[in-house]
Amino acid sequence: MSEFERTTGMRLTRRGFLAGTGAAALAAGLPMPALAKGQVIVGTWGGDYQALLTANFEKPILEKKGIEVIHDISGAPPRKTKLLAERVSRRGTMDVACLSDIDMFEMSKQNLFDNVDPTKVPNAKNIFKQLAKPYAIPHIYSGKVLVYNPNKMSPTSFADFLDPKYKGRIGFADGLYMQIIESAALVNGGSMSNYEPGKATLTELKKFEPKVFPSNETLAAALKSEEVWATVMWRARGFMWKKAGIPLATIAPKEGTTPIIFDAAVPKNAQNKDNGWAYLDAMLDPGGQVLFADRMGYVPTVNNAKLPDDLAKEIGFTEAEQEKFNIPNYEYIAANNAALLEWWNKSFKA
Amino acid sequence: MSVAFEEAAGGRRRSVAPALVGPATILVVLVLVLPMAILFRYSLNQFVPGQFMVEAVTIANYVRFFTDIYYINVLWTTVQVAIACTVISLVLAFPVAYFLARTTSRFKSILVILAVFPLMVGNVVRAAGWMVVLGNDGVVNAVLRWIGLVEEPVKLLYTPTAVIIGIIAVVLPYMILTLQSVLEGIDYSVEEAALNLGAKPSTTFFRIVLPLAMPGVVAGTVLVFILCMNAYATPVLLGGPQFKMMAPALYDQIARSTNWPFGAALAFVLMATTLTLTIVSTTVMQRRMRR
Amino acid sequence: MSQVSLRRLAKRFGSFTAVDDVDLDVREGELVALLGPSGCGKTTTLRMIAGFIAASGGRILIGDQDVTDLPPYRRNTGMVFQGYALFPHMTVNQNVAFGLEMRKVPRAEIGPRVAEALRLVQLDHLGERMPRQLSGGQQQRVALARALVIRPEVFLLDEPLSNLDAKLRLTVRVEIRQLQQALGLTTVFVTHDQEEALTLADRLVVMSQGKVQQIGTPTELYERPANHFVADFIGRSNFLAGTVSAPGRFRSRGGLDIAFADDGAGPRGEGVLAIRPEKASLEAGTDAGTGANRFPGTVVFVTYLGAATEVRVRLASGEEVTVTRHNATPLDDPRHAAGDLAPGNPVTVVWPPAAGLLLAPPPA
């Protein structure tokens, strides 16, 4: 009972109603409804992301509906591979797939997902129009910024990294190769449809011995030990690292910020589609989105979620910054990803 | 009488064998051969960026591999690392295996369990442990600085050496166990006979123990070499992004580039290389054994 | 060939003493058998001579050289192992040549010496075989040739016959003895089989619990065992416990008054009188008769052994003795034992005073 009160006390009335029915059932001396609505298998990242999904959406919303959530935890590449491998099968093993907007687009090109049905995902009507897409819901978003050690430097553009003063002090996460090439392209006459000029910038940058780390975590450790001073990263990550005590600041570079959206979709071959839609609807719950923002620094994707002002200032993007958003050209990325990764591995890292 | 009996027994065996072998064969085909065949078929497909995999029958993926010095180098690095790890683990494992095989200590079973213990922890966890040990702020550098041997941390992590150390730590238990089981089977009195006939311990080792342990050396070497050739987590975590071996390169193609045809071709090149080197070295070792 | 001397040789494993101050001199060309039940320390002693086990105390001398602290490969001993320990990956020739190679014998000399050694054990036609292709007896001979070809100062045999079947064992036994005598090999031979030891050895060393019980020729050991253990272990004996009542007189616990040849060396007071079964004889009936040591009794059990018949007799005193009669006469001869030897028959057991040997009682 106290669990109900605690959650309902701070959440929306709709859930208050749900909790009320549960309480009424108890009061009437009836057994709790079996609630055997089955399960939903969610392919997602582990760690904080999964913990927050559980705390903010699954426990307060889906558990009440009697839906048991099972997590299929991995990084994005294995999840993409799994979706592709299962595409010929009628029985998929995922009911919800979480991926970044770029990956989600690439997968949607293989016709893997059902379009979002607004009648099954009522909260979809609150999604910011510029984030919406037919095949997935945007769950949270952030933007690519410069993350740097304010005691050592104060860059305003990716171009500032090309400086002998910062020799060996620029660090990159291997997984963000696409975003780094894009950043490098934009300061060298490139565009969201042409990353090629980025290769020249990065070749130039190589003279200053930038370091590439195998994961975000190893990059964070290097920033913490001040082995490296700056990187390109999502503002949300920068926010989390700062909260973890790493001396960091973030800035939207002059050349503009590229938003990163973390999407969720229901595969065509999902076994529990209705529960999948229910899960997507829960992910758009404004209360949960605010808590996500507070913990992980990602900005809500629905217009009815209101962030406290100081938090919004820390993780959000100003009107001016939003105007300078560089919207990714997914077609271009999907067509060039393999070649760019090849160049990154063979030419830049070698 | 005995001939008749043997024939009867043989006859019975013949009639039972297919029933026993049948399901096993089907299982092997389903679990091993079929996926390989599918993967091989993929390797002949075409990769069109943005369209994933397009049905085709082309050797373009293999041509690409063998005409690109980058991938040749990745394969060469893989072979070098695998050979180094195999040889070093053989040299390190032999004395341990010999001790385990010969000891009459009542702690023997505990020692064997200790040798196997690392296998109970996943490769990733062990690699993470090595990261703590070898990092710039790691244990080794802390000790080196404390003794005053170095002032700046020595770069140990994200080097080929780190990968070799990490892989050896993974494969050593396999080598030890394989060698130990063979060494257990060598009658100790044979070594005593050699000593008695005037052979020094070193001569006894090279003329008697080593040739007799050759089946174990071959088995352990093959097993460990295959494990090394296919190492994934250790090179990724300890080699750093600049260091590429075949398995991580393959993963890059399949999972990050979504280029399944080329990834499948890499898999087949890796398998063919491993198989060829294994067969060649086994033949050479067995020929030397028969000498 | 050289003589081998053990001086207060000892081996202790923790608190357990496997070999307890053994003194022994093996003369040049002599075959000495170490004999005793398993765990008596005989094998440990042999392995210390070979150098496989380090001595805890005492010295080992081969010839006039103290080898106690030398590793096995610096001692010139030739050992034949219980399981032969042939090198399974080498041919017979290579096995035999191994010791010569280790001694840096010139290559030209190795071939003829290997051939000669194999001829000695009649295996010169099997030089190219692998050990696994040979029978047990052939493997045994290869092991002999391999140990002999290096012309060791001392020849060591560790239960070399125990893996052979009974028939083959007798043949090889003779062959080993002939070889040893022909070559004048100083030999130490470990066995638990007393018959093997008695037939092969010039002298025997009977061991028990790490200690030497007696060293002597087969005759000495059999006829004059030094103590109860040796008398019991070598051959068979009737043991009658009792006390020495007067010089030359022994009173058994059952009350028999027995005359024995008293040389004064035996113990006074409590003792055991040992009588070999074949040194006693049987007479039909229970006539008192005349002469020493005539004891009436009843046949309890008869065991026909072919060459002899063994008869178990319960004496009037309640004590039981075993008597062996040689079946020296034809079956139809009235003197043949068979007729009067049914269980329940009254008999008289007779033995001369010289047949009784007075020994100290065994330790409790």
B111 touches C at CB < 8 Å: no
Among C179, C195, C228, identify where a domain stops: C228
Cβ within 8 Å of A, B 11-50: 47, 49-50
Residues C216, C106 within the same domain: yes
Task: Quick: pLDDT tens for A273-307.
Answer: 999 999 999 999 999 999 989 989 999 999 999 99
* CATH T-level fold of A38-141+261-317: D-Maltodextrin-Binding Protein; domain 2 (3.40.190)
* Secondary structure class of C162 (helix, strand, coil): coil
Residues C266, C202 within the same domain: no
Does residue B240 have a pLDDT over 90? no
Does residue B4 have a pLDDT over 50? no
Superfamily of domain A143-259+326-348: Periplasmic binding protein-like II (3.40.190.10)
Which pLDDT score, from 0 to 100, does residue A29 have? 41
Residues C289, C182 within the same domain: no
Residues C208, C302 within the same domain: no
From the list C83, C86, C99, which residue is nearest B198 (CB)? Answer: C99
B15 touches C at CB < 8 Å: no
C61 - beta bridge partners?
Answer: C5, C66
Residues C107, C254 within the same domain: no
Determine the average pLDDT of the residues in A128-157.
95
Determine the average pLDDT of the residues in A309-319.
91
CATH number of the domain at B68-290, out of 1.10.3720.10, 1.20.120.1200, 3.30.750.80, 3.20.20.70? Answer: 1.10.3720.10
Q: Per the structure block, which two tokens stand in for B234?
A: 């250790």
Which pLDDT score, from 0 to 100, does residue A30 have? 41
Cβ within 8 Å of A, B 73-92: none
| Three state DSSP letters for chain A | CHHHHHHHHHCCHHHHHHHHHHHHHHHCCCCCCCCCCCEEEEEECCHHHHHHHHHHHHHHHHCCCCCEEEEEECCHHHHHHHHHHCCCCCCCCCCEEEEEHHHHHHHHCCCCECCCCCCCCHHHHHECHHHCECCEEEEEEEEEEEEECCCCCCCCCHHHHCCHHHCCCEEEEHHHHHHHHHHHHHCCCCECCECCHHHHHHHHHHCCCCEEECCHHHHHHHHHCCCCCEEEEEHHHHHHHHHCCCCCEEECCCCCCEEEEEEEECECCCCCHHHHHHHHHHHCCHHHHHHHHHHHCCEECECCCCCCHHHHHHHCCCHHHHHCCCCCCHHHHHHHHHHHHHHHHHHHCC
Which pLDDT score, from 0 to 100, does residue C114 have? 96
Distance from CA of A173 to the nearest CA of B (A): 9
CB-CB neighbors (< 8 A) of C73 in chain B: 195-201
* Secondary structure class of C323 (helix, strand, coil): strand
Nearest residue of B to residue C95, measured between CA atoms: B194
Subunits with 3+ C-beta pairs closer than 8 A to A: B
Q: At what angle do helices C136-148 and C166-183 cross, to 10 degrees?
A: 20
Domain layout of chain A by residue ranges: 38-141+261-317, 143-259+326-348
Which pLDDT score, from 0 to 100, does residue B210 have? 93
Does residue B92 have a pLDDT over 60? yes
pLDDT higher at A12 or B17: B17
CB contact under 8 A, A213 and B240: yes
Which pLDDT score, from 0 to 100, does residue A18 have? 37
Backbone angles phi, psi at C165, to 5 degrees: -75, 165
Among C228, C246, C277, identify where a domain stops: C228
Residue C364 lies in a domain: no
Residues C243, C202 within the same domain: no
Do A38-141+261-317 and A143-259+326-348 come out as alike in CATH topology?
yes
Which pLDDT score, from 0 to 100, does residue C336 have? 57
Residue C109 lies in a domain: yes
Residue C104 lies in a domain: yes
Which pLDDT score, from 0 to 100, does residue C164 have? 85
On whether the CB atoms of residues A146 and A187 are closer than 8 A, the answer is no
Determine the average pLDDT of the residues in A204-229.
91
CA atoms of B231 and B82, how far apart (whole Å): 9
Domains in chain C: how many in total?
A: 2
Residues C196, C89 within the same domain: yes
Which pLDDT score, from 0 to 100, does residue B124 have? 84
From the list C71, C81, C89, which residue is nearest B193 (CB)? Answer: C81
CA diameter of chain B = 85
pLDDT higher at A185 or B48: A185
What 8-state DSSP symbol labels residue C267? Answer: P
Which pLDDT score, from 0 to 100, does residue C334 have? 62
CA atoms of A245 and A224, how far apart (whole Å): 8
Task: Quick: pLDDT tens for A10-66.
Answer: 333 333 333 333 344 444 444 444 444 789 999 999 888 898 899 999 999 999 888
> Above pLDDT 70, what percent of chain B?
93
> Above pLDDT 90, what percent of chain B?
56
Q: Per the structure block, which two tokens stand in for B152?
A: 């700046």
Task: Quick: pLDDT tens for A189-210.
Answer: 999 999 999 999 999 999 999 9
Which pLDDT score, from 0 to 100, does residue A273 have? 94
Among C228, C253, C276, identify where a domain stops: C228
Task: Quick: pLDDT tens for B43-62.
Answer: 999 998 877 888 999 999 99
CATH number of the domain enclosing C260:
2.40.50.140
Residues C270, C339 within the same domain: yes
Task: Quick: pLDDT tens for C196-253.
Answer: 999 899 999 999 999 999 999 999 999 999 999 999 999 999 999 999 988 889 999 9
CA atoms of C187 and C77, how far apart (whole Å): 10
The domain of C333 spans 236-359
CA atoms of B192 and C198, how far apart (whole Å): 28
Which pLDDT score, from 0 to 100, does residue B255 have? 87
Residues C210, C347 within the same domain: no
Which pLDDT score, from 0 to 100, does residue B67 have? 95
Residues C208, C252 within the same domain: no
| Three state DSSP letters for B81-123 | HHHHHHHHHHHHHHHHHHHHHHCCCCCHHHHHHHHHHHHHCCH
Which pLDDT score, from 0 to 100, does residue A48 have? 81
Provide residues of A within 8 Å CB-CB of chain B. 77-78, 80-81, 84, 106, 109-110, 174, 212-214, 218, 221, 225, 227, 331, 334-339, 341-342, 345-346, 349-350
What average pLDDT does the structure give for chain A?
Answer: 87
Which pLDDT score, from 0 to 100, does residue B260 have? 92
CA atoms of C97 and C87, how far apart (whole Å): 11
| pLDDT, block means (10 residues), chain C with 364 residues | 89 93 94 93 95 95 94 95 94 96 95 94 92 93 94 93 86 90 93 90 95 95 93 93 91 92 82 94 78 90 87 93 85 61 88 92 82
Task: Quick: pLDDT tens for A82-112.
Answer: 999 998 888 999 999 999 999 999 999 999 9
CB contact under 8 A, A341 and B136: no
On whether the CB atoms of residues B174 and B231 are closer than 8 A, the answer is no
Residues C74, C108 within the same domain: yes
CB contact under 8 A, B50 and A78: no
CA atoms of B116 and A268, how far apart (whole Å): 45
Which pLDDT score, from 0 to 100, does residue B2 have? 41
Report how far Cα C315 is from the mean position of its chain's Cα atoms.
Answer: 32
CA atoms of A156 and A153, how far apart (whole Å): 10
Size (chain B), residues: 291
Residues C141, C52 within the same domain: yes
Which pLDDT score, from 0 to 100, does residue C239 have? 95
